[in-house]
Amino acid sequence: MAKINQSLGEFIIENQSEFKYSSGELSRLINSIRLAAKVVNHKVNKAGLVDILGTAGNNNIQGEDQQKLDVFANEVFINTLTNREIVCGIASEEEDDFITIKGRNQKNDNKYVVLMDPLDGSSNIDVNVSVGTIFSIFRRITPSGTPVTIDDFLQPGINQVAAGYIVYGTSTMIVYTTGHGVNGFTLNPAIGTYYLSHPNMKIPQDGHIYSVNEGNYVHFPQGVKDYIKYCQKEEEDRPYTSRYIGSLVSDFHRNMIKGGIYIYPNTSKDPNGKLRLLYECNPMAMLAEQAGGKASNGFESILKIQPTSLHQRVPFFCGSTKMVEKAEEFMQKHNNTRE
């Protein structure tokens, strides 16, 4: 039973029996993510004082400028997980390929792989907007003791054993699930401990907030355009409120608490969508569904999509169930019209 103000460490120990494979390894993995998040949080909070703003002069695999803080966060999470030898592989949005972790005996008997977006929304850091880290954990499917392969990472989201995010904002929070509901923990910076502040989080079934970058409206599919017009129409409990931060963690976190829908569709410029299935959409979809919400690509569940590449992109509709289903209606209606 979740107890308010229980520390994250106490919560992990008390709920370890809920893990499908209760060896303590997954608990230690969550603890390592907690530690890395503290280090990144400290650096984020003094971003205006030191030279970690602007680009690092490199592009990531997506062809996007890497912010210096992106590079720092990526290194912190990789080093923390590697040095503790609690995972057998890591895939990061900032890395071209997955990383194989070998133990001291040159083999690795650990069971889990981690996929992550080490610093989501980092382009907002220099204007003091909340950013975050997103993580996804799978149990490997290749034999223990052998090097991981691409197949360990290209699993459908429904196979995730845990997922979560850290939001570095006015307060720093870890929100995660191991398949038994969603819980949020807030950092007390005075003593460096996360405490349970949001037990058993639930997304309202309906909401009044839609989050989409309307600057790309002319490039949206007709179904998304029609849904936006529906949201803006003065009828029943509408018009809805438009709220778009441009940081997935922040937009998702607000909608988790208040109810709403987040949409990042495919466009004529990005026909496959922009968000990454493995590092952003899968973990957020698991959190949404564990909190009673829904996530899809406009036509099918995100969690059922079979990945084909590490950096695969997909359209993303996520949030309150009734709002996502209404958006899907418009997508399907336009799709049927075209057929």
Was 63 annotated as part of a binding site?
Answer: no
Nearest to 11 by CA among 199, 168, 187, 165: 199
Quick count: other Cβ atoms within 10 Å of Cβ 150?
14
Was 117 annotated as part of a binding site?
Answer: yes
Was 207 annotated as part of a binding site?
Answer: no
Was 309 annotated as part of a binding site?
Answer: no
**Residue 272, token pair as written in the block:** 């496959």
Was 75 annotated as part of a binding site?
Answer: no
Block residue for tokens 């799709």: 335
- Give, rounded to a whole angstrom, the gap between the first and last alpha carbons of the chain: 51
Was 70 annotated as part of a binding site?
Answer: no
Beta bridge partners of 90: 99, 114
Was 280 annotated as part of a binding site?
Answer: yes
Was 93 annotated as part of a binding site?
Answer: yes
Was 110 annotated as part of a binding site?
Answer: no
What is the Cα–Cα distance from 270 to 63, expressed in whole angstroms? Answer: 14
What is the Cα–Cα distance from 181 to 292, expressed in whole angstroms? Answer: 9
Quick count: other Cβ atoms within 10 Å of Cβ 57?
9
For residues 314 and 280, the answer to whether their CB atoms sit within 8 Å is no
**Residue 20, token pair as written in the block:** 């499908």
Helix (H) or strand (E) holding 137: strand 131-139
What is the Cα–Cα distance from 231 to 44, expressed in whole angstroms? Answer: 35
For residues 131 and 121, the answer to whether their CB atoms sit within 8 Å is yes
For residues 147 and 100, the answer to whether their CB atoms sit within 8 Å is yes
Was 121 annotated as part of a binding site?
Answer: yes
Was 255 annotated as part of a binding site?
Answer: no
What is the Cα–Cα distance from 210 to 339, expressed in whole angstroms? Answer: 28
Binding residues for substrate: 120-123, 213, 244, 274
Residues within the annotated binding site for Mg(2+)? Answer: 93, 117, 119-120, 280
Which residues are documented as binding site? 93, 117, 119-123, 213, 244, 274, 280
